[in-house]
Structure 1
């Protein structure tokens, strides 16, 4: 699927209830972690960090932090034992992040809002964006990459899908059933999550819509590279984009940029 449609996701809307957004983010974090969605990109991320001499990851648009723990553990176990990661978001979720920080050595978070298009220089590190880059229309996506180039911060953009029609079918069938089955086991525990999943099922309904739109909004590798080259007109970064496949089938789409000359 090569088309990209700039539709809207409810979680992006400023008036959207925080309690529903939090419930959707909790589900996304749980499924990404449980499925190990981003494990296939760990070797790519490790190589990029080594090229930039960085042991600090700065996760932008972290949401509820889905997949972060597994990636950090894998990096630490495969050659980068001192890796640290800081979670940030324009809409911070300190309650969810505190739970991750308590059980995950090397994980911290910024409790104040962080704009991915203008990251404060006080937050250094190799930047990552998991499951969120599709939220940005082309001009904003280019600005996000340009800010990394301007501050000479390596960046990795990762989407946990390959942009296929089958993934949309799964978003309408299998994944809603999984949401109903797994919601009682998600942490931190929230009565609101149970209420808006089973009694008034707004969380599943909005998740189906946003999950479908996420795939339609995704940038395929060629478009990711085009954005990167516009954000880096003087080619001071080295860019690569593509897809990697999980051992059991699903794909991850990625874009990685690192400065060509690292001190």
Structure 2
């Protein structure tokens, strides 16, 4: 599916209730982590880190940090034992991030203040990575995100946990909502608000269904990601690579990675 529509997602809106956004992010973190969504991109990210001589990954638009622990373990398995992550977001999730930081004994840290992915502060170094969030940006904004990395002369990678297929939309409308209702009591850290807005006032699952479908429609296919990378790098100072990698059990991850040429 090459069609891309720049549609409305609830979690993008500044007026959207923080408690509902947090519940949605917690669910995504649980699913992405337990399905090992981003494990197939570990070799790509490991190569990019070696190319740039970096061990620190600065995760932009981190949400609740979904999949970060899994990717960190995979990077360690790729002979990068000193790899570290710093989580950042325009809407920080310090409660979820503190839990992750404690679980990883500080290997995954976080920036508690709001961070704009289009203007990353100089005091936050590292290879910039965006998981499950690049589709939120319009083409102009996505290009600005990549250009900011190019101007900082740091590596950058964007990864979407889907292959942009119609059957993924069907899953988001049928199987995944049922899964959300089943797993919500097991998500940690425990939250009464998450239970309230899942079962009594079901804003979390309803908004998750909508945003999940729209996310797939907003995703950039590899050729559009490559075009954005090249537009952000008019002097061709970067090596860009875009495509899809597949899990052994079927699902795909769409990606773009770039790093400065020697």
Q: After TM superposition, what 4+ stretches of structure 1 lie above 3 angstroms from structure 2?
A: none
User: Aligned partners of 2:77 and 2:251: how far apart in 1?
Assistant: 24
Residue by residue, what CA displacement relative to the aligned partner does 1:225-247 show, whole Å, maximum 9, x if unpaired? Answer: 11111100001000000000011
For residue 78 of structure 1, report the CA deviation from its aligned partner.
2.2
Can you list the C-alpha shifts for 1:139-167, whole angstroms capped at 9, x where unaligned?
10000000000000100100000000000
Equivalent residue number for residue 158 of structure 2 = 157
Question: Where does residue 116 of structure 1 map in the other structure?
Answer: 117
Aligned with 1:241: secondary structure? Answer: strand
d(CA) in 2 for partners of 1:173, 1:45: 32
For the residues of structure 2 that align with 1:197 and 1:7, how far apart are their CA atoms? 24
* Offset of residue 77 of structure 1: 2.4
Output the CA distance in 2 between the equivalents of 1:16 and 1:89. 15
Q: TM-score, normalised by structure 1?
A: 0.98
- 1:189 is matched with 190
Query: What is aligned with 2:81?
Result: 81
Distance of 2:15 and 2:231 partners within structure 1: 32
Q: Distance in 1 between matches of 2:149 and 2:23?
A: 30
Matched with 1:23 is 23
Counterpart of 1:237? 238
Q: What secondary structure is seen at the aligned counterpart in 2 of 1:16?
A: coil
User: Structure 2 matches for 1:105-144, cutoff 5 A?
Assistant: 105=105, 106-144=107-145
Distance, in Å, in 2 between the alignment partners of 1:74 and 1:206 is: 31
1:256 corresponds to: 257
Task: Measure the CA separation in 1 of the matches of 2:77 and 2:100.
Answer: 18
C-alpha RMSD of matched pairs (Å): 0.6
* Distance in 1, Cα, partners of 2:8 & 2:189: 28
Distance in 2 (alpha carbons) for counterparts of 1:12 and 1:99: 24
Q: Distance in 2 between matches of 1:109 and 1:146?
A: 23
Distance 2:129 2:65 in 1: 12
- Report the Cα distance in structure 1 between the residues aligned to 2:199 and 2:85, rounded to whole angstroms: 35
1:21-100 aligned at under 5 Å gives the runs 21-100=21-100
Shift of 1:73: 1.2
- What SS does the corresponding residue of 1:208 show, helix, strand or coil? helix
Distance in structure 2 (CA, Å) of the matches to 1:29 and 1:107: 14
- Secondary structure of the structure 2 residue equivalent to 1:258: strand
Q: Which runs of 5+ in 1 are unaligned?
A: none
Gaps in structure 2 of 5+ consecutive residues? none
Number of residue pairs matched? 261
In 1, Cα distance between equivalents of 2:168 and 2:12: 21
CA distance, structure 2, for counterparts of residue 58 and residue 206 of structure 1: 28
The answer to whether the Cα contact below 8 Å between 2:42 and 2:78 also exists between their aligned partners in 1 is no
